[in-house]
Amino acid sequence: MSDVFMNTYHRLPVTFARGEGAWLWGVDGKKYLDFTAGIAVNCLGHNHPALVKAIADQAARLCHVSNYFQSDVTAAFAERLVAACAPAGMKRVFLANSGAEANEGACKIARKYSLKKYEPGRHRIVTLKGSFHGRTITTLSATGQEKFHKDFGPFTEGFLFVPSGDLDALDRALDANTTAGFLIEAVQGESGILPQEAAYIEAAAKFCAERDILLMFDEVQCGVGRTGAFLGCEAYGVKPDVVTLAKGLAGGVPVGAVLAGEKAAGVLEVGDHGSTFGGNPLAAAAGLVVLETVDNPAFLGDIKRKGDKFQDTLRSWKHPRIKGVRGRGLMIAADLDTEAWPVLEAAIAKAGGPHLGSKDPGLLMLSAGPNTLRFLPPYIISDGEIEQGLEILKGCL
Ligand SMILES: Cc1ncc(COP(=O)(O)O)c(C=O)c1O
């Protein structure tokens, strides 16, 4: 591994050369089944023919134009995305490049919405303890986890964290005189695949509506079909004011999006916000393929079916090392009675290679907290591949 990188990641000792479907191959020829999808990014798997063709065709035509001009591909992508989010009441979109950038946009919308209607000072944004919203200074300020804050203050002011599930604390925090928005993950990803309780979301939506506070769902990890619905918040039947997306939205090409419903769709005006790369034609062409594939009831239903089967299989083992299994769709966690990291390493080390005289595959997984394994496989994974991967995991526990 090159030592010119800033030392920000604990990288595992495998260098990938290529991928196909739910499989990746290292430069040494070793083969791995991918239960990570690049942290919920490669939702159509690797080397997906329609995605590759769309990216190659678009690259040959036009990669980028400034947002000061128009792009038919970007417009088609934006229209298709708003249509996919219409069941949640979304009307308009701003295209960005990442989850953090999308959440920055959401915070700006909440603050300006409030400032246009109320006195200055009503700018607080409430988020949950244990949440994860990104690594920029403002999205770190929104992230309710001390461990990410260390060394980086001072932070953007006006964020308040409440314990997840505590309705009294939420009622107090969502003060109509001081609060502009409530930002929440429908299923918390980084802190261990924790779906919100329906009663909590319903009450939060009621508080927000009564007090004219924007209800904003961070769907960067759980959106774009991951839970078996296009948006994770659809499971609660509430209508958010703002939704943010990124990760899987263009299947591996960087893109992010802030969507707004009726209340907030007109808040940002000319000159208020911008992004050089945001939704450029290359990302838009890739995003269109993802939307055409994923925003389809049969495809979404299959994500849910495969996810349920994945969880059922894990539970059926009654394995003494597995203390609990939970998830929604293909967003699954297993709590262990031991550290997760050595299990991740053992699953990678299972990979044989032609030069080792073995073709046994390894398995790629993620952790979420010290004792939790996290599984975010590509949506195109087959039932047989799920079984194969879980057998590898069993051998590592
Ligand atoms: C829920 C959530 N929000 C925001 C982010 C930040 O996204 P990005 O890394 O694209 O900035 C992440 C990344 O893991 C996330 O899971």
CATH of 50-294, one of 3.40.50.20, 3.40.228.10, 3.30.420.130, 3.40.640.10: 3.40.640.10
Structure tokens at 7: 């030392």
Q: Which residues pair with 127 in a beta bridge?
A: 161
For ligand 1, atom 16, name the residue with the nearest CA: 221
Spatial separation of the C-alpha atoms in residues 351 and 253, rounded to whole Å: 28
Residue pair 286/261 in contact by the 8 Å Cβ criterion: no
Q: How far is the CA of 247 from the centre of ligand 1 (A)?
A: 7
Pocket flag, ligand 1, residue 134 (CB < 6 Å): yes
**Is 98's C-beta closer than 6 angstroms to any atom of ligand 1?**
yes
The pLDDT value given to residue 105: 98
Q: Establish whether residue 190 lines the binding site of ligand 1, counting it when its CB lies within 6 angstroms of any ligand atom.
A: yes
- What homologous superfamily does CATH list for 16-34+297-396? Aspartate Aminotransferase, domain 1 (3.90.1150.10)
Q: Where are the domains of the chain?
A: 16-34+297-396, 50-294
Q: What is the mean pLDDT of residues 211-227?
A: 98
Residue with tokens 């590509």: 378
How far is Cα 32 from Cα 190, in angstroms, rounded to an integer? 23
Domains 16-34+297-396 and 50-294 share a fold: no
Residue 317 per-residue DSSP state: T
Instruction: Report residue 373 CA to chain centroid gap.
Output: 17
| Cα separation, 385 vs 393, whole angstroms | 12
Residue 356 has pLDDT above 70, yes or no: no
Mean pLDDT, residues 252-272: 98
State the DSSP code for 247. Answer: G
Span 106-117, pLDDT tens digits = 999 999 999 999
42-85 pLDDT, tens digit each: 999 999 999 999 999 999 999 999 999 999 999 999 999 999 99
User: Which one-letter amino acid corresponds to residue 333?
Assistant: A
pLDDT band at 346 (very low <50, low <70, confident <90, very high): very high
**Residue 41 main-chain phi, psi, to 5 deg:** -100, -55
Ligand 1 midpoint to CA 134 (Å) = 5
- Tell how far the Cα of 223 is from the centroid of ligand 1, in angstroms: 11
Amino acid identity for residue 26 in this structure? G
Position 354 confidence tier, pLDDT thresholds 50, 70, 90: low
**Does the CB atom of residue 220 touch ligand 1 within 6 A?**
yes
Count of Cβ atoms closer than 10 Å to residue 86 Cβ: 13
Ligand 1 center to 104 CA (angstroms): 11
Ligand 1 contacts CB of residue 226 (under 6 A): no
Read off the amino acid at residue 124. R
Distance of alpha carbon 273 from alpha carbon 34, whole angstroms: 37
User: What strands lie across the sheet with 124-128, from one edge to the other?
Assistant: 90-96, 256-261, 242-245, 214-218, 179-184, 124-128, 159-162
Q: What is the distance in A from the centroid of ligand 1 to the CA of 249?
A: 12
In this prediction the pTM is 0.98
The residue type found at 9 is: Y
